[in-house]
Amino acid sequence: MSIDLSPIDKAKFVAARRACDYVESGMRVGLGTGSTAAWMVRCLAERVQNERLDIVGVPTSSRTADLARSLGIRVASLDEVKWLDLTIDGTDEFDANLNLIKGGGGASLQEKIVATASDRMVVIADVAKEVKSLGAFPLPLETVPFGWQTTKALIEETLVNMDVLGREATLRMNDDVPYITDEGNYILDLHLHRIGNPRQLSLVMNQIPGVVENGLFIDICDAVVIGHGDGTVEIRDINAGLVSEEQIDILESDNIFADPDQ
């Protein structure tokens, strides 16, 4: 029996389910953070239960770790496994070159470390995440709390010479206090509107004292699985230069159709 999902949830789900086909027994798999990644964790858990899939998951946040453990996925730290076969994660934006903006969920630092410690990164997204130029989504910069206002001023001053349309930086809040990442840092969200040269911006932002890492993922993503509200997925593999389209059947399953939100 088909499940009654909204078009956006259906798009997220079919992308997540198709991306799980990349996972094979024996793999060490990076588990992303966010609403689309939550679908992926549930789909993987279903395979672990039904197919006896033997994997080790390396979560990119405490939220994902809690979800994976609750669903029966064996979890380890990156320090324990050292290197990963595959990371599957969502994104806030991606462009034609599969460059990404990530960090809307507040976990871009751990997400970038895990992704770059993987042989392959597969991104799952709904079609609305594709953009002609990155920057409509605010770019997160994880910063140390000490002297964050000085760091903010340096960032905004540096942006004057960058190929961007906006230069405002705002401190991410959690109600009336600063949002704190899993690493104990703050996040400054840069409202740039358009990023003309993502590679240059990434390099320059990381040179500013107080900035730990930025949410631009350049030359890290290998393939993107794009979900559509009609249940189709488009797969773009930038290394193989291949584009394909498939239809994903959605059937009722008590294991994965609980609340996907983290």
Taking the C-alpha atoms of residue 139 and residue 42, their distance in angstroms, rounded to an integer, is 28
Asked about 111 being catalytic, the answer comes back as yes
Residues ≥6 apart with Cβ < 8 Å to 112? 102, 213, 215, 217, 220
Q: Which two tokens stand for residue 156?
A: 């905004």
Q: Which two tokens stand for residue 45?
A: 């858990």
Taking the C-alpha atoms of residue 184 and residue 62, their distance in angstroms, rounded to an integer, is 12
Taking the C-alpha atoms of residue 218 and residue 228, their distance in angstroms, rounded to an integer, is 25
Q: CA neighbours within 13 Å on the CB side: how many for 212?
A: 21
In the chain, the amino acid numbered 101 is: I
Question: Quick check: 182 and 170 in contact, CB under 8 A?
Answer: no
Taking the C-alpha atoms of residue 130 and residue 132, their distance in angstroms, rounded to an integer, is 7
Sign of torsion over alpha carbons 121, 127, 128, 134: positive
Taking the C-alpha atoms of residue 112 and residue 222, their distance in angstroms, rounded to an integer, is 14
Q: Which two tokens stand for residue 196?
A: 């003309």
Which one of the listed residues 111, 157, 168, 246 is annotated catalytic? Answer: 111
Please identify every residue annotated as catalytic: 111
